[in-house]
């Protein structure tokens, strides 16, 4: 395990050094995006780091074909994310179509699908192959774009998926043996969490895409493997980015805004403004916002895994999470500071 830690640390330091020297993939402060409040260029190496480290520890010996399919899956989204970070001339619609096509192709070849949802209005249709592959792909694409929406403050996305991974790790059920050991994944995620916390790098679109694809594959595989777990646990584990996506679309439609144009009215953005109003330090406020959101998500997720086989309680926990989110969203929206953080 020490050798694994040293290897991942060397990869991290090397990537940060290369990026700081050559700045080939950065978040530039003059660009008007959701992270452009920084006054210095910040590397966007999350996806490259995650891809290299996860690819290294895939179980090639026993699952050669499956491992290479997963690596191809991750690499395809790494490339798509890098093009997005480089501000390639991708329209949001084209990017969405490409995401959908890639997910459908790889789910088909991986023979990976959602076997059951625990929702009475969906389960009768799940057995239909065409509906299933469309629905499974739709869920992953919603997660990808929801995670991208959430990636507006340090640690929010990497911290969230670190918590999801930790929750599965502590559950006393078999883990998929065709994917990397969760102890290794926890080390990989935690090291980048520290990198992101101290603002040495952002995930970038490339990092968001890679981590979301990996977690999606892992959670679906884990729930399918263990019949004693309610499928609603997956919804409780992954509700935040999914709800952020759907809530943002509804909010923009309600305000007569284009749904594919970024704005600064996400929950984490409103919370960031509130925290900045109190301490006037944007860098501290940014990381603190992500950590506070991580703590909130930690409570809900670890309540959920204690009721892994009780669908009614899992649905109740999910509804409470959503209610708290919406309640605090409108509280912070009604108390917006009169100035913006610089």
CA-based end-to-end distance of the chain: 42
3-class secondary structure, 103: helix
User: Mind listing the pLDDT tens digit for each residue in 143-154?
Assistant: 999 999 999 999
Give the separation between CA 158 and CA 165, rounded to whole angstroms: 10
User: Mind listing the pLDDT tens digit for each residue in 264-301?
Assistant: 889 999 999 989 888 888 889 999 999 999 999 999 99
Angle of helix 156-170 relative to helix 204-225, nearest 10 degrees?
20
Q: Would the pLDDT of 133 be above 60?
A: yes
Task: Look at residue 336 in the predicted model and tell me its pLDDT.
Answer: 58
Percent of the chain at pLDDT > 70 equals 89
Average pLDDT of the segment spanning 294-311 = 96
Give the separation between CA 150 and CA 327, rounded to whole angstroms: 18
Give the separation between CA 289 and CA 271, rounded to whole angstroms: 7
Cα 181 to its chain centre, rounded Å, is 19
Give the separation between CA 31 and CA 48, rounded to whole angstroms: 22
User: Mind listing the pLDDT tens digit for each residue in 232-250?
Assistant: 999 999 999 999 999 999 9
Give the separation between CA 52 and CA 58, rounded to whole angstroms: 10
Q: Is 240 left (phi over 0), alpha (psi -120 to 50) or beta?
A: alpha
Q: Which residue has the higher pLDDT, 61 or 169?
A: 169
Task: Look at residue 341 in the predicted model and tell me its pLDDT.
Answer: 45
Average pLDDT of the segment spanning 77-82 = 94
> What is the DSSP secondary structure assignment for residue 42, as one 8-state letter?
E
Give the separation between CA 262 and CA 272, rounded to whole angstroms: 17
Q: Which residues fall within 8 angstroms of residue 66, CB to CB, at 6 or more apart?
A: 110, 178
Q: How confident is the model at residue 332 (pLDDT cuts 50, 70, 90)?
A: confident
Element (H, E) at 163: helix 156-170
Report the mean per-residue pLDDT for the chain: 88
Q: Are 85 and 209 in contact (CB under 8 A)?
A: no
Give the separation between CA 312 and CA 318, rounded to whole angstroms: 10
Task: Look at residue 262 in the predicted model and tell me its pLDDT.
Answer: 79
User: Mind listing the pLDDT tens digit for each residue in 100-130?
Assistant: 999 999 999 999 999 999 998 999 999 999 9
The pair of three-digit structure tokens given for residue 162, joined into one six-digit string: 């670190």
Give the separation between CA 125 and CA 1, rounded to whole angstroms: 44
User: Mind listing the pLDDT tens digit for each residue in 184-219?
Assistant: 999 999 999 999 999 888 999 999 999 999 999 999
Task: Look at residue 201 in the predicted model and tell me its pLDDT.
Answer: 87
- CA-based nearest residue to 308, from 246, 236, 253: 236
> What is the DSSP secondary structure assignment for residue 250, as one 8-state letter?
H
Q: Would the pLDDT of 31 be above 60?
A: no
């Amino acid at each position: 395990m020490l050798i694994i830690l040293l290897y991942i640390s060397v990869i991290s330091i090397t990537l940060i050094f290369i990026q700081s020297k050559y700045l080939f993939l950065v978040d530039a402060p003059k660009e008007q995006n959701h992270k452009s409040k920084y006054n210095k260029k910040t590397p966007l190496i999350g996806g490259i780091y995650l891809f290299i480290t996860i690819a290294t520890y895939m179980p090639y010996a026993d699952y050669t074909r499956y491992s290479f399919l997963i690596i191809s899956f991750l690499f395809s989204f790494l490339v798509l994310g890098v093009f997005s970070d480089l501000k390639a001339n991708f329209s949001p619609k084209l990017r969405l179509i490409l995401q959908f096509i890639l997910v459908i192709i790889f789910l088909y070849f991986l023979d990976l699908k959602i076997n059951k949802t625990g929702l009475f209005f969906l389960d009768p249709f799940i057995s239909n192959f065409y509906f299933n592959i469309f629905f499974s792909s739709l869920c992953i694409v919603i997660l990808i774009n929801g995670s991208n929406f959430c990636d507006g403050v340090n640690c929010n996305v990497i911290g969230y998926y670190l918590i999801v991974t930790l929750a599965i790790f502590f559950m006393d059920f078999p883990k998929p043996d065709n994917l990397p050991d969760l102890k290794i994944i926890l080390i990989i995620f935690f090291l980048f969490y520290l990198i992101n916390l101290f603002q040495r790098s952002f995930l970038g679109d490339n990092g968001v895409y890679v981590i979301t694809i990996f977690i999606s594959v892992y959670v679906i595989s884990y729930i399918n493997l263990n019949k004693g777990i309610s499928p609603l646990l997956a919804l409780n584990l992954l509700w935040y980015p999914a709800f952020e996506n759907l809530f943002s679309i509804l909010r923009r439609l309600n305000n007569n805004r284009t749904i594919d144009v970024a704005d600064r009215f996400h929950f984490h953005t409103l919370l960031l403004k509130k925290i900045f109003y109190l301490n006037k330090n944007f860098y501290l406020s940014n990381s603190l916002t992500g950590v506070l959101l991580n703590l909130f998500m930690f409570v809900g997720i670890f309540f959920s895994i204690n009721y892994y086989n009780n669908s009614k309680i899992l649905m109740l926990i999910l509804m409470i999470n959503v209610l708290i989110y919406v309640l605090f969203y409108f509280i912070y929206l009604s108390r917006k500071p009169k100035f913006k953080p610089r």
